[in-house]
A = this chain, B = another copy of it.
Amino acid sequence: MLKKKHQYVVAIVGATGEVGREITEVLEESTFPVSELVFLASERSEGEKIEFRGEGRSVKRLTKTSFAGVDIVFFAAGDLCSVEFAPVAVQSGAVVIDCSNAFRLEPTVPLIVPEVNAHAVAAHAGIIASPSCSAVGLATVIKPIHQVSKIKRIVMTTLQSVSGAGRKAVDELAGQTVALLNFREIKKNAYPHQIAFNCIPQVGAELESGYTSEERDVMNETAKIMEDDSLQVTATAVRVPVFRGLSGSVNIELESKTTANEIRSILSAAAGVVVYDDLKRNIYPMPIDVIGKKEVYIGRIREDETIPNGMNLWFSLDDVRRGAALNMVHIAELLIQ
C-alpha cells in the first residue's frame, strides 16, 4: 500500500515509447506531487534525455534494482516487461499502474477507469491495471447509461489508429503513405499488410476462438470494469490508416425503453464524456478532433428499431492520452487521495 507523503518518487517504465512520453506530458500538465521522475527503458534508449518540469533527465536502463525508493511505477512497455518487472517493483515497495494486458483479468488486480469504478482501486495488492483503450472508451460511455437503464448486450466495431501499436507503426503509416504517393514500393514491419490507404481487420494476435487478443480484451475487460458479469460484449477490431484516435461504432440493447434524447441527457451529465452530437450540422466525434482531449466524445446517438430497446452510437477518444496515459495518471491520483 502507498504511504501518504507530500511528494512521491515516480518512475515510468517504457519512458521513450508513445504512452511513456504521454505520461510525462500528462504529469507535466498536472499538479501531481512528484518529487522525482525516473525514466526507465530498455538498453537501446539508455542515455536519451527527456524533459520534465524544466529539467532534463537521462533515461536509465531498467533492471531489477531500478525501483529502490520509488513509490509509484507506471508500466508502459508491453506484456512481457510487465510480467517480468512489475512483481519486482511491488516487492521493493512500489505500487504499479500497468497498461499492458498482463494482469488485467487477474482477480486480485483492480482494473480501473476512475470515472467508472474508482472505488475498486482500494482493494489492490500492489498492481493496478489500466484497461485497453477500447475498454476505457466503451466503459466511460456506457457506465452512466447502465446505471439508469440496464444494458444487456453490446455489439461493437472499433476503428483503431496506428498509435495503439507504438512509434514503429506511426512511422510505418507515414512512410508507406509517402512511398505510395511516389509510386515506390512500401516497407512492412509493424503490420503484416499495408496499412496506408487500407483497413486491416486484425488488431493484436490471433486467438484459438477466431477472435484477436484486442477483441477478447474489450469483451472480457468491460464486464470487469462495469462490475456486471451479465453484460455481454462482442467486438470486431479494425486497424485504420489514422495516426491517433480510436473510434467505436456501438450497438447496445437495453433492458427497458430509453429514447435517444434520454441517452443524450444522461451522457451530458456524466464525468469524462462530451456529447458531440448534431448530425444536421455535421457534428460527431472524429479521431482528428479528440487528439489531446481528456474526455471521450460521443455522438450519432439514435434509436435502433430492429429490437425493442436498441440504440446505436459512436465514440472517439485519444487512445494514447485518454485511453492510456491520462487514465493511468488518474489512477495514481486516486491512490494519493
Contact = CB atoms under 8 A, between A and B. Distances in A.
Interface of A: 153-155, 157, 159, 173-174, 177-178, 181, 192-194, 197-202, 206, 209-212, 232-234, 236, 238, 240-243, 247, 249, 251, 260, 279-280, 282, 284-288, 299-307, 310, 312, 314, 316
A302 B208 CA distance: 11
A303 to B, nearest CB: 7
Copies of this chain, how many?
Answer: 2
B199 A286 contact: yes
A-B interface, 3 closest residue pairs, ranked by CB to CB distance from nearest:
A210-B302, A232-B306, A157-B249
Given A201-B300, A279-B206, A193 B306 contact: no
Contacts of A247: 199, 201, 238
Contact of A236 (B153, B314, B316): B314
Contacts of A236: 157, 249, 251, 300, 312, 314
Contacts of A192: 282
Contacts of A300: 201, 210, 236
Contacts of A280: 206
Given A302-B211, A312-B234, A279 B202 contact: yes
Contacts of A316: 199
Contact of A279 (B212, B241, B242, B312): B212
A64 to B, nearest CB: 36
A286 to B, nearest CB: 6
A284 B249 contact: no
Contacts of A240: 159, 199, 240-241
A260 B285 CA distance: 34
Nearest to A239: B286
Contacts of A288: 193-194, 197-198
B306 A210 contact: no
